[in-house]
Amino acid sequence: RAYSLVDSSQVSTFLISILLIVYGSFRSLNMDFENQDKEKDNSSAAGSFNGNSTNNSIQTIDSTQALFLPIGASVSLLVMFFFFDSVQVVFTICTAVLATIAFAFLLLPMCQYLTRPCSPQNKISFGCCGRFTAAELLSFSLSVMLVLIWVLTGHWLLMDALAMGLCVAMIAFVRLPSLKVSCLLLSGLLIYDVFWVFFSAYIFNSNVMVKVATQPADNPLDVLSRKLHLGPNVGRDVPRLSLPGKLVFPSSTGSHFSMLGIGDIVMPGLLLCFVLRYDNYKKQANSDSCSAPGPGNISGRMQKVSYFHCTLIGYFVGLLTATVASRIHRAAQPALLYLVPFTLLPLLTMAYLKGDLRRMWSEPFHSKSSSSRFLEV
List of residues 6+ apart from 5 with CB closer than 8 A: 327
Q: Which residues are catalytic?
A: 193, 264
